[in-house]
Amino acid sequence: MRKVFLLLIVLFIASCSGDKYRIKGSYEGAADGTKLYITAIDEFFTPIDSAVVRDGLFSFSGKADTPVVRMLISSVELDGGPIVIENGRTDVILGNGMRRGGSTLNKQLQHFYDKRDVMGRRMESIIDFINGTPSMTASQRDSIQLCVAAAKADFVEMLQRTIGGNMDNALGAFLLTQSEDYFSPDEIYSLMSMVPRHLHDKLFVAMYERVKDEASRKMRAMATSVGGTYINFELPDADGNKVLLSDIITKNRYTLLDFWASWCAPCRQEMPVIRKIYNDYKKSGVAVVSLSVDSSIEEWKEGVSSLGMQWVQLCDVAGGSAEVASAYGVESIPTLILIDSEGKIIMRGEPAVRVAERLSELLK
């Protein structure tokens, strides 16, 4: 009976331990009394818990409702780094760096840093080779480029795999914040949009805000790139009449959509060619629509008049023009977009002279 009772106690303790996190660590070379802190990942590294080193060992324990990434830092050295606080046991080694393991997510986090370090060492060896080889042959340069590309591709593939497998937990969100050097803003933005809102910590939100405008603009530009479909809109012309873009597109073989402004010098430089396109091809089913992002009606109308822009002119200084430009992902002006009668975009971002050449080919 006593053995059965003891067995039940052991099983109860074992089951309860799974509901807590236990961090067991060693800190080589640290003096007794050295303090370690678990902190938030914010600008102040706000302390959340602390432990004291005794005989080179330390420990933390507590309960984590959901895994969260924190910092483990020393009070006297630069040792430490990110650690996932998750229920179960985590093993940490400090001193000349940091290694973590034991729990599932900490193993993955360590794997990420190991691969990053391998890539770093490859880059260092390449730099050493370059510095030690003042005059390189073309073959050596090609070999270096291949090595760099292979190292980066290997790391990025692992990073994508790790992030993709952890989109529903804090590790995926954290690694995204460490990945700006390896992904374009639109790729980061796309990945971030998949992270559950409850995992949006301060670091994540700050990065999201930093990349979202640029990234979302590029993604919209991709959606309206060559091969994509135009976005319909309705804006007033110089007489205040509302003009629907789809009405123009369906009635013509091709429509040239021109984003411009009266104050834009490059836009003005393009106007003689756009004017020639209009005059040469208006009877062949080519329409031109200039959409101004001017903030002044008077300046817009003066620009239209002085430049002899006799085709369709649209502008809404109250914000409509800016909204349309944003919807098309326009990053700079002038931006020219050539659209066929079915609404398919066949040219984007080319100078007016290239558009004229393309129209000449299409209309033969």
* pLDDT of 80 strictly over 80: yes
Q: Can you give the pLDDT at residue 251? A: 95
60 touches 82 (CB < 8 A): no
**What would the mean pLDDT of 125-139 be, rounded to a whole number?**
80
Give strand ranges (E) for the chain.
Answer: 21-27, 35-39, 47-52, 57-62, 68-74, 80-85, 88-94, 98-101, 234-236, 242-244, 254-260, 286-292, 312-315, 335-340, 345-348
Residue 18 scores a pLDDT above 60: no
CA-wise closest residue to 148 among 179, 127, 176:
127
Confidence band of 132 (pLDDT split at 50, 70, 90) = confident
pLDDT of residue 8: 42
Beta-bridge partners for 15: none
Say how far apart CA 166 and CA 211 lie, in whole Å.
21
Residues 6+ apart with CB under 8 A from 230: 224, 245, 249, 257, 337, 339, 343, 344, 345
The string of pLDDT tens digits covering residues 145-194 is 888 888 788 888 888 888 888 888 888 888 888 887 787 777 777 777 78
HEC assignment per residue over 147-210: HHHHHHHHHHHHHHHHHHCCCCCHHHHHHHHCCCCCCCHHHHHHHHCCCCHHHCCHHHHHHHHH
Residue 216 and residue 330 in contact, taking contact as beta carbons nearer than 8 Å:
no
Query: Which residues does residue 84 pair with via DSSP β-bridges, in sequence order?
Result: 69
Q: State the pLDDT at residue 348.
A: 95
Quickly state the pLDDT bin for 14 (edges 50, 70, 90). very low
Predicted pLDDT at 279: 96
At 15, the pLDDT band (50, 70, 90 cuts) reads: very low
What angle separates helix 185-192 from helix 170-177, to the nearest 10 degrees?
A: 160
7 against 65, higher pLDDT: 65
**Per-residue pLDDT averaged across 325-349, rounded?**
93
Find the mean pLDDT for residues 24-42. 90
* Residue 40 confidence (pLDDT): 87
pLDDT above 90 covers a percentage of the chain that reads 48
Edge to edge, the sheet with strand 21-27 lists 57-62, 21-27, 88-94, 98-101
> For 276-280, what is the mean pLDDT?
96
How far is the CA of 285 from the CAs of 216, 248, 346, in angstroms?
34, 10, 16
Question: What's this model's pTM, rounded to 2 decimal places?
Answer: 0.56
Q: Note the pLDDT of residue 2.
A: 52
Q: Average pLDDT for residues 129-151, to the nearest whole number?
A: 80
Residue 222's pLDDT is 79
Any idea which of 2-11, 93-102, 271-280 has the lowest mean pLDDT?
A: 2-11
Across the range 86-94, mean pLDDT stands at: 92
Q: Report the mean per-residue pLDDT for the chain.
A: 86
Buried b (16+ CB within 10 A) or exposed e, 142-168: eebeeeeeebeeebbebbbebbeebbe
Per-residue confidence band for 263, with pLDDT thresholds at 50, 70 and 90: very high
Quick check: 42 and 33 in contact, CB under 8 A? no
